[in-house]
Protein backbone atom coordinates (compact mmCIF):
# COMPACT_ATOMS: atom_id res chain seq x y z
CA UNK A 1 0.00 0.00 0.00
CA UNK A 2 1.46 3.43 -0.92
CA UNK A 3 2.20 6.00 1.76
CA UNK A 4 -0.45 8.62 2.45
CA UNK A 5 0.44 12.26 2.99
CA UNK A 6 -2.07 14.53 4.67
CA UNK A 7 -1.80 18.03 3.19
CA UNK A 8 -3.53 20.51 5.48
CA UNK A 9 -3.96 23.32 2.94
CA UNK A 10 -4.40 23.07 -0.78
CA UNK A 11 -1.15 23.83 -2.63
CA UNK A 12 -0.69 24.85 -6.27
CA UNK A 13 -1.08 21.86 -8.62
CA UNK A 14 2.59 21.49 -9.48
CA UNK A 15 3.42 20.86 -5.80
CA UNK A 16 0.58 18.41 -5.31
CA UNK A 17 1.74 16.67 -8.51
CA UNK A 18 5.30 16.22 -7.22
CA UNK A 19 4.03 14.87 -3.91
CA UNK A 20 1.59 12.59 -5.74
CA UNK A 21 4.51 10.92 -7.55
CA UNK A 22 5.55 9.46 -4.20
CA UNK A 23 2.36 9.07 -2.16
CA UNK A 24 -1.39 9.19 -2.07
CA UNK A 25 -2.53 12.62 -1.04
CA UNK A 26 -5.30 13.44 1.38
CA UNK A 27 -5.88 17.19 1.11
CA UNK A 28 -8.02 18.87 3.77
CA UNK A 29 -10.80 21.27 2.80
CA UNK A 30 -10.36 24.94 3.71
CA UNK A 31 -12.71 24.65 6.70
CA UNK A 32 -11.12 21.47 8.08
CA UNK A 33 -8.43 21.40 10.77
CA UNK A 34 -5.93 18.67 11.44
CA UNK A 35 -7.23 18.39 15.01
CA UNK A 36 -10.93 17.93 14.05
CA UNK A 37 -12.28 14.85 15.82
CA UNK A 38 -14.03 13.80 12.60
CA UNK A 39 -10.60 13.43 10.98
CA UNK A 40 -9.30 10.80 13.41
CA UNK A 41 -9.31 8.01 10.77
CA UNK A 42 -7.55 10.19 8.21
CA UNK A 43 -4.93 11.19 10.80
CA UNK A 44 -4.42 7.55 11.72
CA UNK A 45 -3.95 6.57 8.07
CA UNK A 46 -1.31 9.14 7.19
CA UNK A 47 2.45 8.56 7.06
CA UNK A 48 3.38 12.19 6.55
CA UNK A 49 1.92 15.65 7.06
CA UNK A 50 2.56 18.77 5.01
CA UNK A 51 1.24 21.64 7.13
CA UNK A 52 1.57 25.35 7.82
CA UNK A 53 2.00 27.40 10.97
CA UNK A 54 -1.77 27.50 11.50
CA UNK A 55 -1.84 23.74 12.19
CA UNK A 56 -1.19 22.83 15.80
CA UNK A 57 0.54 19.47 16.06
CA UNK A 58 0.61 18.70 19.77
CA UNK A 59 0.40 15.51 21.85
CA UNK A 60 -3.40 15.39 21.48
CA UNK A 61 -3.22 15.51 17.69
CA UNK A 62 -0.36 12.99 17.64
CA UNK A 63 -2.23 10.52 19.83
CA UNK A 64 -3.97 8.71 16.99
CA UNK A 65 -1.23 9.19 14.36
CA UNK A 66 0.50 5.88 14.90
CA UNK A 67 1.73 5.64 11.28
CA UNK A 68 3.30 9.10 11.20
CA UNK A 69 6.87 9.20 9.83
CA UNK A 70 7.44 12.89 9.05
CA UNK A 71 6.01 16.39 9.34
CA UNK A 72 6.99 19.07 6.83
CA UNK A 73 5.87 22.60 7.68
CA UNK A 74 5.69 25.48 5.22
CA UNK A 75 7.27 27.80 7.79
CA UNK A 76 10.58 28.51 9.41
CA UNK A 77 9.01 28.72 12.89
CA UNK A 78 7.97 25.38 14.36
CA UNK A 79 6.39 26.52 17.63
CA UNK A 80 3.05 25.08 16.41
CA UNK A 81 4.61 21.61 16.48
CA UNK A 82 5.58 19.64 19.58
CA UNK A 83 9.03 18.84 18.20
CA UNK A 84 10.19 17.04 21.35
CA UNK A 85 7.18 14.69 21.24
CA UNK A 86 7.99 13.90 17.59
CA UNK A 87 11.73 13.51 18.26
CA UNK A 88 10.93 11.06 21.04
CA UNK A 89 9.16 8.94 18.42
CA UNK A 90 12.00 9.37 15.89
CA UNK A 91 9.80 11.44 13.57
CA UNK A 92 11.58 14.07 11.45
CA UNK A 93 10.23 17.64 11.33
CA UNK A 94 11.11 19.83 8.34
CA UNK A 95 10.94 23.61 8.03
CA UNK A 96 11.85 26.32 5.51
CA UNK A 97 14.78 28.40 6.77
CA UNK A 98 16.73 31.05 4.85
CA UNK A 99 14.28 31.85 2.08
CA UNK A 100 12.13 34.34 3.98
CA UNK A 101 14.89 36.36 5.66
CA UNK A 102 14.87 39.51 3.50
CA UNK A 103 11.11 39.52 2.99
CA UNK A 104 10.46 39.36 6.73
CA UNK A 105 13.10 42.01 7.49
CA UNK A 106 11.47 44.24 4.87
CA UNK A 107 8.14 43.84 6.69
CA UNK A 108 9.73 44.60 10.06
CA UNK A 109 11.37 47.73 8.70
CA UNK A 110 8.13 48.80 6.98
CA UNK A 111 6.33 48.47 10.34
CA UNK A 112 9.11 50.44 12.04
CA UNK A 113 8.78 53.33 9.58
CA UNK A 114 4.98 53.19 9.59
CA UNK A 115 4.80 53.19 13.40
CA UNK A 116 7.41 55.95 13.78
CA UNK A 117 5.86 58.26 11.20
CA UNK A 118 2.21 57.38 11.90
CA UNK A 119 1.59 56.24 8.32
CA UNK A 120 -1.43 53.98 8.96
CA UNK A 121 -2.94 56.55 11.32
CA UNK A 122 -2.49 59.29 8.67
CA UNK A 123 -4.08 57.08 6.03
CA UNK A 124 -7.12 56.51 8.28
CA UNK A 125 -7.25 60.24 9.12
CA UNK A 126 -7.68 61.19 5.48
CA UNK A 127 -10.10 58.37 4.62
CA UNK A 128 -12.23 59.26 7.66
CA UNK A 129 -12.58 62.81 6.30
CA UNK A 130 -10.67 64.36 9.19
CA UNK A 131 -8.10 66.25 7.08
CA UNK A 132 -10.05 69.47 6.72
CA UNK A 133 -9.32 73.15 6.19
CA UNK A 134 -9.32 73.73 9.93
CA UNK A 135 -7.11 70.70 10.66
CA UNK A 136 -4.21 70.88 8.26
CA UNK A 137 -0.49 71.56 8.17
CA UNK A 138 0.75 73.30 11.28
CA UNK A 139 4.23 73.02 12.81
CA UNK A 140 2.97 70.42 15.28
CA UNK A 141 0.58 68.53 13.00
CA UNK A 142 0.90 64.70 13.09
CA UNK A 143 4.36 64.64 14.60
CA UNK A 144 6.18 61.32 14.50
CA UNK A 145 9.50 60.02 15.72
CA UNK A 146 12.86 60.33 13.99
CA UNK A 147 14.21 57.09 12.60
CA UNK A 148 17.52 58.34 11.19
CA UNK A 149 20.04 58.89 13.97
CA UNK A 150 18.08 56.89 16.56
CA UNK A 151 19.00 53.57 18.18
CA UNK A 152 17.53 50.24 17.13
CA UNK A 153 17.69 47.40 19.65
CA UNK A 154 17.47 44.02 17.94
CA UNK A 155 16.25 41.16 20.13
CA UNK A 156 17.55 38.04 18.40
CA UNK A 157 20.43 38.34 15.96
CA UNK A 158 19.71 35.38 13.71
CA UNK A 159 19.45 35.83 9.93
CA UNK A 160 16.32 38.02 10.10
CA UNK A 161 17.71 40.15 12.94
CA UNK A 162 20.92 40.64 10.94
CA UNK A 163 18.92 41.59 7.82
CA UNK A 164 17.05 44.13 9.96
CA UNK A 165 20.42 45.52 11.11
CA UNK A 166 21.51 45.99 7.47
CA UNK A 167 18.36 47.95 6.68
CA UNK A 168 18.66 50.08 9.81
CA UNK A 169 22.34 50.84 9.07
CA UNK A 170 21.22 52.27 5.73
CA UNK A 171 18.96 54.65 7.65
CA UNK A 172 21.83 55.87 9.83
CA UNK A 173 20.57 54.11 12.97
CA UNK A 174 22.85 53.05 15.81
CA UNK A 175 22.59 49.29 16.29
CA UNK A 176 22.33 47.35 19.53
CA UNK A 177 21.48 43.71 20.05
CA UNK A 178 20.79 41.03 22.57
CA UNK A 179 20.56 37.46 21.42
CA UNK A 180 20.17 34.23 23.41
CA UNK A 181 23.07 32.61 21.53
CA UNK A 182 25.45 35.48 22.39
CA UNK A 183 26.23 35.89 18.65
CA UNK A 184 28.32 38.98 17.78
CA UNK A 185 27.94 40.82 14.48
CA UNK A 186 30.23 43.61 13.26
CA UNK A 187 28.61 47.03 13.55
CA UNK A 188 26.05 45.88 16.12
CA UNK A 189 26.85 46.44 19.79
CA UNK A 190 25.74 43.47 21.87
CA UNK A 191 24.54 44.16 25.39
CA UNK A 192 22.34 42.70 28.13
CA UNK A 193 18.61 42.74 27.31
CA UNK A 194 17.94 45.17 30.19
CA UNK A 195 20.43 47.70 28.78
CA UNK A 196 19.05 47.30 25.25
CA UNK A 197 15.47 47.96 26.43
CA UNK A 198 16.48 50.97 28.51
CA UNK A 199 18.49 52.65 25.74
CA UNK A 200 16.80 51.80 22.43
CA UNK A 201 14.40 54.16 20.64
CA UNK A 202 13.11 51.21 18.62
CA UNK A 203 13.08 47.57 19.72
CA UNK A 204 12.50 44.88 17.09
CA UNK A 205 11.88 41.27 18.11
CA UNK A 206 13.47 38.47 16.03
CA UNK A 207 13.83 35.48 18.36
CA UNK A 208 11.99 32.20 17.75
CA UNK A 209 9.17 31.36 20.17
CA UNK A 210 10.26 28.66 22.62
CA UNK A 211 9.84 27.87 26.30
CA UNK A 212 12.68 30.29 27.05
CA UNK A 213 11.42 33.20 24.95
CA UNK A 214 7.70 32.93 25.78
CA UNK A 215 6.67 36.24 27.36
CA UNK A 216 10.28 37.48 27.10
CA UNK A 217 9.07 41.06 26.64
CA UNK A 218 6.70 41.03 29.60
CA UNK A 219 5.10 43.89 31.53
CA UNK A 220 8.10 44.33 33.83
CA UNK A 221 10.51 44.58 30.89
CA UNK A 222 8.20 46.89 28.93
CA UNK A 223 8.20 49.20 31.97
CA UNK A 224 12.00 49.47 31.67
CA UNK A 225 11.90 50.46 28.00
CA UNK A 226 13.05 53.94 27.08
CA UNK A 227 10.08 56.34 27.40
CA UNK A 228 8.65 57.06 23.96
CA UNK A 229 10.11 53.89 22.42
CA UNK A 230 8.53 51.93 19.58
CA UNK A 231 8.14 48.14 19.70
CA UNK A 232 8.13 46.03 16.53
CA UNK A 233 7.26 42.32 16.49
CA UNK A 234 7.41 40.16 13.37
CA UNK A 235 8.55 37.00 15.25
CA UNK A 236 5.73 35.43 17.26
CA UNK A 237 2.93 36.83 19.39
CA UNK A 238 3.68 34.80 22.51
CA UNK A 239 7.05 36.55 22.96
CA UNK A 240 5.48 39.91 23.83
CA UNK A 241 2.84 40.55 26.50
CA UNK A 242 0.13 42.20 24.41
CA UNK A 243 -1.92 43.64 27.27
CA UNK A 244 1.23 45.19 28.74
CA UNK A 245 2.00 46.75 25.34
CA UNK A 246 -1.54 48.15 25.13
CA UNK A 247 -1.30 49.55 28.68
CA UNK A 248 2.12 51.12 27.97
CA UNK A 249 0.70 52.79 24.86
CA UNK A 250 -2.35 54.03 26.76
CA UNK A 251 -0.27 55.62 29.50
CA UNK A 252 2.12 57.15 26.96
CA UNK A 253 5.18 55.13 28.02
CA UNK A 254 5.50 53.69 24.50
CA UNK A 255 5.07 55.92 21.46
CA UNK A 256 3.86 53.23 19.06
CA UNK A 257 4.00 49.56 18.10
CA UNK A 258 4.15 47.70 14.80
CA UNK A 259 2.84 44.13 14.94
CA UNK A 260 2.66 41.38 12.36
CA UNK A 261 2.11 38.54 14.85
CA UNK A 262 -0.25 37.99 17.76
CA UNK A 263 -0.71 35.64 20.67
CA UNK A 264 -3.99 34.51 19.09
CA UNK A 265 -4.30 34.62 15.29
CA UNK A 266 -6.47 35.98 13.79
CA UNK A 267 -6.18 38.67 16.48
CA UNK A 268 -9.56 38.97 18.28
CA UNK A 269 -11.57 42.01 17.19
CA UNK A 270 -11.78 43.16 20.83
CA UNK A 271 -8.02 43.10 21.42
CA UNK A 272 -7.00 46.28 23.28
CA UNK A 273 -4.19 46.66 20.74
CA UNK A 274 -6.70 47.38 17.99
CA UNK A 275 -8.16 50.28 19.96
CA UNK A 276 -4.91 52.21 20.01
CA UNK A 277 -4.33 54.55 17.03
CA UNK A 278 -0.55 54.20 17.20
CA UNK A 279 -0.54 50.43 16.79
CA UNK A 280 0.14 49.44 13.19
CA UNK A 281 -1.14 45.92 12.59
CA UNK A 282 -0.82 43.53 9.67
CA UNK A 283 -2.10 39.94 9.51
CA UNK A 284 1.07 37.79 9.80
CA UNK A 285 2.33 38.77 6.33
CA UNK A 286 6.06 38.95 7.14
CA UNK A 287 6.97 36.45 4.43
CA UNK A 288 4.06 37.21 2.11
CA UNK A 289 5.52 37.83 -1.33
CA UNK A 290 4.81 35.47 -4.21
CA UNK A 291 8.46 34.53 -4.76
CA UNK A 292 9.19 33.94 -1.06
CA UNK A 293 6.06 31.84 -0.55
CA UNK A 294 7.01 29.83 -3.66
CA UNK A 295 10.47 29.19 -2.20
CA UNK A 296 8.93 28.16 1.14
CA UNK A 297 6.61 25.65 -0.52
CA UNK A 298 9.55 24.41 -2.67
CA UNK A 299 11.53 23.61 0.49
CA UNK A 300 8.56 22.04 2.27
CA UNK A 301 7.84 19.79 -0.70
CA UNK A 302 11.56 18.92 -1.04
CA UNK A 303 11.54 17.92 2.64
CA UNK A 304 8.43 15.75 2.18
CA UNK A 305 9.73 14.10 -0.99
CA UNK A 306 13.07 13.30 0.71
CA UNK A 307 11.20 11.74 3.62
CA UNK A 308 9.00 9.70 1.26
CA UNK A 309 12.14 8.42 -0.49
CA UNK A 310 13.53 7.35 2.86
CA UNK A 311 16.22 10.07 2.74
CA UNK A 312 17.02 12.70 5.39
CA UNK A 313 15.08 15.93 4.91
CA UNK A 314 17.37 18.70 3.61
CA UNK A 315 15.93 21.15 6.18
CA UNK A 316 15.24 19.29 9.37
CA UNK A 317 14.86 20.87 12.83
CA UNK A 318 15.50 17.61 14.70
CA UNK A 319 18.25 15.87 12.66
CA UNK A 320 19.11 13.79 15.72
CA UNK A 321 16.26 11.48 14.67
CA UNK A 322 18.49 10.27 11.83
CA UNK A 323 21.51 9.52 14.00
CA UNK A 324 19.55 7.90 16.82
CA UNK A 325 18.16 5.20 14.49
C1 LIG B 1 7.37 31.46 9.49
O2 LIG B 1 7.65 30.82 8.45
O3 LIG B 1 7.54 30.98 10.60
C4 LIG B 1 6.84 32.83 9.33
O5 LIG B 1 6.23 33.28 10.47
C6 LIG B 1 5.92 32.91 8.12
O7 LIG B 1 5.65 34.25 7.84
Rounded CA-CA distance 81/267 in Å is 20
Rounded CA-CA distance 156/178 in Å is 6
**Residue bearing the CA closest to ligand 1, atom 2:** 75
The residue among 84, 53, 130 whose CA lies nearest residue 293 is 53
Residues 184 and 42 in one domain: no
The residue among 92, 94, 72, 49 whose CA lies nearest residue 321 is 92
- Number of domain units in the chain: 2
278 is catalytic: no
- Report pLDDT for 1: 60
Query: Within 10 A of 140 (CB to CB), how many other CB atoms are there?
Result: 5
Ligand 1 atom with minimal separation from the 78 CA: 3
Ligand 1 atom with minimal separation from the 236 CA: 5
Upstream peptide bond of 243 is cis (omega within 30 degrees of 0): no
- For ligand 1, the distance from its centroid to the CA atom of residue 287, given in whole angstroms, is 6
Residues 165 and 269 in one domain: yes
Residues 140 and 259 in one domain: yes
253 is catalytic: no
pLDDT tens-digit map of 164-200: 999 999 999 999 999 999 999 999 999 999 999 999 9
104, 206, 262, best to mutate for ligand 1 pocket (most atoms within 8 Å of CB): 104
Residue 202's domain comprises: 101-281
- Report pLDDT for 12: 95
Residues 49 and 147 in one domain: no
Ligand 1 atom with minimal separation from the 100 CA: 2
- For ligand 1, the distance from its centroid to the CA atom of residue 293, given in whole angstroms, is 10
> In angstroms, how far is CA 308 from the centroid of its own chain?
28
Residues 165 and 306 in one domain: no
265 is catalytic: yes
Residues 259 and 118 in one domain: yes
Q: Which position among 236, 242, 263, 276 bears the catalytic label?
A: 236
Residue pair 315/97 in contact (Cβ under 8 Å)? The answer is: yes
Residue pair 313/94 in contact (Cβ under 8 Å)? The answer is: yes
**Which residue numbers in the chain have pLDDT < 70?**
1, 324-325
% the chain with pLDDT above 70: 99
Residues 312 and 224 in one domain: no
51, 159, 287, best to mutate for ligand 1 pocket (most atoms within 8 Å of CB): 287
- Report pLDDT for 72: 98
**Which CATH number do you get for residue 312?**
3.40.50.720
Residues with Cβ within 8 Å of 268's Cβ and at least 6 positions away in sequence, in order, are: none
Ligand 1 atom with minimal separation from the 75 CA: 2
- Report pLDDT for 324: 65
Residues 146 and 295 in one domain: no
Residues 109 and 58 in one domain: no
- For ligand 1, the distance from its centroid to the CA atom of residue 320, given in whole angstroms, is 23
Rounded CA-CA distance 101/83 in Å is 22
* Antiparallel, parallel or unpaired: β 24-27 and 151-155: unpaired
Query: Within 10 A of 20 (CB to CB), how many other CB atoms are there?
Result: 14
- For ligand 1, the distance from its centroid to the CA atom of residue 240, given in whole angstroms, is 17
Residues 58 and 129 in one domain: no
Residues 272 and 303 in one domain: no
The residue among 249, 151, 241 whose CA lies nearest residue 204 is 151
Residues 132 and 30 in one domain: no
Crossing angle, helix 13-20 and helix 290-308, to 10 degrees?
10
Give the residues surrounding ligand 1 with Cβ less than 6 Å away.
53, 75-77, 100, 286-287
**DSSP classification of residue 138:** -
Amino acid sequence: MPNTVLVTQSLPDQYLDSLAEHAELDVLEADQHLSDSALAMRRAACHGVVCTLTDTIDRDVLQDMENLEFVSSVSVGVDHIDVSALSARGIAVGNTPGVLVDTTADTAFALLLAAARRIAEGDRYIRDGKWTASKRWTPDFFLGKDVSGSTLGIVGLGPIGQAMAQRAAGFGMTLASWTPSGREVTGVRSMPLEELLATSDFVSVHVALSDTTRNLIDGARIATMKPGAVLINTARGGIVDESAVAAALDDGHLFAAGLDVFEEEPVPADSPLLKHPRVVVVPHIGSATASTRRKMVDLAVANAVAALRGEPMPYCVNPEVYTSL
